[in-house]
Amino acid sequence: MHCFIFFNTWEEGEKAMKCPHCDYDNPDESRFCSQCGTKFGPPEDISEVPTITRQTSSEDFTPGSTFAERYQIIEEVGQGGMGTVYKALDTTINEKVALKLIKPEIASNKHTIERFQNELKYARKVSHKNVCRMYHLSKENDFHYIVMEYIPGENLKSMI
């Protein structure tokens, strides 16, 4: 979690950091709030990540619905920090795949999409029974998505 840092006047014109959690004024060089211990992080350049409002509901990804005119949703497999994964039928080749819809707030950062592109490029060069194959990275109706090999079975979280 990143905290935003606000600068206030400290003694005799020195800068101070106001803690976003408890509103305590801290010396400029502080890495943690002296009052509550909140860690200060560098302010992010929020101009790089635009706010996106979507009109798409979760009903659009219900079993039987079709995404990108190709992938018929079978069921939701799971949700995580990067997005939601569905088991889907690739109707073009009649094969089950894993379809990961990347969260809009993650996909809106062009550097993140570039990282996914690099990951796909390198993942295609790996062939191993313990490595899931990645097939495709694309965008449809403002949704970035990744198509991967669908491997039936228990997920890692439940195994642990």
Rounded CA separation 17/37 (Å): 13
| 58-151: CATH, from 3.40.50.2000, 3.40.50.1260, 3.90.76.10, 3.30.200.20 | 3.30.200.20
Residue 54 in this model has a pLDDT that exceeds 90: no
If you average pLDDT over each of 46-50, 84-88, 142-146, which comes out highest? 84-88
Cβ atoms of residues 107 and 113 within 8 Å: yes
pTM exceeding 0.85: no
Residue 12 in this model has a pLDDT that exceeds 90: no
Q: Is the pLDDT higher at 79 or at 60?
A: 79
| Residue range 66-78, pLDDT digits in tens | 999 999 999 999 9
- Per-residue model confidence (pLDDT) at position 9: 36
If you average pLDDT over each of 18-22, 46-50, 137-141, 150-154, which comes out highest? 137-141
- Per-residue model confidence (pLDDT) at position 23: 81
- For residue 96, give the amino acid letter: K
| Range list for CATH 3.30.200.20 in the chain | 58-151
Average pLDDT, the chain: 78
- Determine the 3-state secondary structure of 78 from DSSP: strand
- Per-residue model confidence (pLDDT) at position 3: 37
Q: Is the pLDDT higher at 80 or at 31?
A: 80
- Per-residue model confidence (pLDDT) at position 14: 47
Q: How far is CA 41 from CA 3, 5, 44, 109, 149, in A?
A: 6, 8, 9, 19, 38
